[in-house]
Structure 1
Amino acid sequence: MISKEQIAAEYQLIQDEICAALEQCDGLAYFEEEKWERDGGGGGRTRVIQNGNIFEKGGVNFSAVHGQLPHTMQKALNIDHDDFFATGVSIVIHPNHPMVPIIHMNIRYFEIPSSFADGREPIRWFGGGIDLTPHYVIDADAQYFHAYLKSVCDKFNHDFYHRFKTWADDYFFIKHRNETRGVGGIFYDRLTANSELTWENIFEFSKGVGRSFIPIYTELVNRNRNSTFNEAQQFWQYQRRSRYTEFNLVYDAGTKFGLETNGRIESILMSLPPTAKWVYNYQPVPGSEEEKTLSLLKKGINWV
């Protein structure tokens, strides 16, 4: 059986690979690293890139934390153990170009160490996902993104893509705006071994999702980074960033988990954009690209 130490080590390697590739893609900025320790157990490596050729702000964070699980989180997770271990990599990139999309990825593992020794079935699971938030929805880019994710999912289970795509549509939904955060992607949680999937299979899937990030995002960046844009399009970019912020502060489970378990605030809120705008009752021009984008921010679109 794979150990939590093996999982954490592999996630650290994925963090290293992604940071090196993003620096090469940007061509100007480099990641700054801050190592931190969590009161109660564990810590992590926060890496932030800022003011680059294309990446205005981004973070690629690794954490491996353990200790006492607050009662609020025990209730939320529907478990009755005090101790926990959690490790993962979390990424959010905010480009400075309105035609280059925001992207988020997360891979994570959670276990209750005491459950391995108390005679009951071990409590452990994998979760994660990757989703795309374009400021302007470009059909060909959304199709490429989803086709790549489907190819990753299909290597492990032909039902994964449909299940996890639907899950992402439901999860990355801004209820108070009645719109999705972007064009979705895949999302899964509490993925455990069964008659069809071993723990090793699920771990390989988790790593496959993690390593899909670079080929996907570098392709999308390079497709759009040299296109021209005007002030009105950048204004729209800042307006769309405000919706991203609303989702992360109101609904995101990772943000809530980090705050409830006394995580590092700067790392938790790394996902927020450097600049955003909230314009009162903003309405796009009828027939505009902005109106088209809003019309595509809904569940159930079949991109592949």
Structure 2
Amino acid sequence: MKIAPTSKKAQEAMHILSTLQSDFMEILQSISEPFGSGAEFNTIEWLRDEGLHGGGLRFEAVKGKLFNGASINISQVQYDDLPDKSFSSATALSTIIHPLHPLAPSLHMHISWTELKNGQGSWRIMADLNPSIPDQKEKEKFDNCLKEITGKYHQQGERLGNAYFYIPALQCFRGVSHFYLEGFNPDSKSTNHFAKDFGESVIQCYGEILAQKTLNAEPPTEAQKIAQLNYHTLYFYQVLTLDKGTTTGLLIHNQNDVGTLGSLPSRINRVLLASWVDITPAPQDKLIKRFLRLLPEQDICLISRSLKVQIAEQIRAHYKAFPIN
């Protein structure tokens, strides 16, 4: 049993985000129906300190004809019983969709509410479109969706998003369209609506893109499959060496490692990953070497659930040796 926070703000955030979670799963199931049957999602629950401090629930797609991988995670942790902690609660929705067809882009979206014991709190809001094979029209569609829903905050969110998803060692971005706001709470009366409307617009827009790209798609070529594999390798690299949210989540606790690493694609190119070691700045080059030692000695490697647990352990060991300043 999960113990929920007493804060009404946290409870409202949970209602908003859990509704988005269910709505997104329904959209994805609807898109998958023409493939023969609706996409199946396993429901997986995890507990923080046996539920004393909350926990989470994720919908994880069973691999079929539509998804390479898909995870829609919601979590809520709280420390109401620990008066010495200034941190009160964190409520988050984190989603990652990796379609099976190389022409269909991946989506990452994260919306979270963090609250202190003094009642102050803020939102963290982000979304990014990640095609293996870029399509200018779908980029423009996603860009326009973000511009319309974020209004006066779009320029700031785009600038911060571009900075967040840039990979200096590879001199490129992860994804083609980015939005990111942190510590967002300029008007406490409207930010909940902003977060809700943002999530609704992003999942609706992405659903339209995914349907258009997959429903009448020709079977992928070998070149397209290779492009997807290589892009997924870049995605793996960025998440595990640069993504602050992923790293922080793994360092705080080990009770949801598979869920925290739910954004990882199902397969990567080990040879390509190894080629980036020498251009990766220290000490992150050592982190990549840790991953390579875990991976089997073959060109294409499956990122299994058990491997995700091992990756999480290696990340914690790495940052114990090289603490984040």
**Fold match by TM threshold 0.5:** yes
Please tell me whether the aligned partners of residues 142 and 177 of structure 2 are also in contact (alpha carbons under 8 angstroms): no
Identity of aligned residues (%): 25
* 1:227 to 2:217 alignment: yes
Aligned match of 2:99 = 95
Aligned match of 2:308 = none
Aligned match of 1:30 = 40
Report the 3-state secondary structure (helix = DSSP H, G, I; strand = E; otherwise coil) of the residue aligned with 2:234.
helix
Kindly report the root-mean-square deviation, in angstroms, between the aligned alpha carbons of the 2 structures.
Answer: 1.9
Please tell me whether the aligned partners of residues 96 and 109 of structure 2 are also in contact (alpha carbons under 8 angstroms): yes
* 1:257 to 2:248 alignment: yes
* 1:178 to 2:171 alignment: yes
Worse-superposed segment, 59-68 or 98-107: 59-68
TM-score by structure 2 length? 0.75
Instruction: Choose between structure 1 and 2 for higher RCO, CA contacts under 8 A separated by at least 6 residues.
Output: 1
Please tell me whether the aligned partners of residues 79 and 85 of structure 2 are also in contact (alpha carbons under 8 angstroms): no
**2: CA distance, partners of 1:103 / 1:137:** 13
Any residues of structure 2 matched to 1:233-248 within 5 Å, and which?
233-248=224-239
**1: CA distance, partners of 2:87 / 2:126:** 25
Amino acid at match of 1:187: Y
Please tell me whether the aligned partners of residues 58 and 259 of structure 2 are also in contact (alpha carbons under 8 angstroms): yes
Worse-superposed segment, 178-187 or 225-234: 225-234
* 1:17 to 2:23 alignment: yes
Alignment match of 2:269 (pick from 277, 287, 299): 277
Amino acid at match of 1:251: L
TM-score by structure 1 length? 0.79
**1: CA distance, partners of 2:91 / 2:237:** 25
Can you give the 5+ residue segments of structure 1 that lack an aligned partner in the other structure?
Answer: 69-79, 117-121, 283-304
**2: CA distance, partners of 1:30 / 1:48:** 8
Aligned match of 1:72 = none
**1: CA distance, partners of 2:213 / 2:146:** 20
Aligned match of 1:107 = 111
**1: CA distance, partners of 2:271 / 2:105:** 21
Report the 3-state secondary structure (helix = DSSP H, G, I; strand = E; otherwise coil) of the residue aligned with 1:199.
coil
Please tell me whether the aligned partners of residues 42 and 65 of structure 1 are also in contact (alpha carbons under 8 angstroms): yes
Aligned-residue offset at 1:184: 2.5
Aligned match of 1:146 = 143
Post-superposition Cα deviations, 1:21-66, rounded to whole Å, max 9, x if no partner, equal 1111122321110122112611010110032321121000000012
**1: CA distance, partners of 2:165 / 2:62:** 25
Aligned match of 2:67 = 55
**1: CA distance, partners of 2:10 / 2:70:** 27
Aligned match of 2:58 = 46
**2: CA distance, partners of 1:43 / 1:271:** 18
Report the 3-state secondary structure (helix = DSSP H, G, I; strand = E; otherwise coil) of the residue aligned with 1:270.
coil
* Matched pairs, number: 256
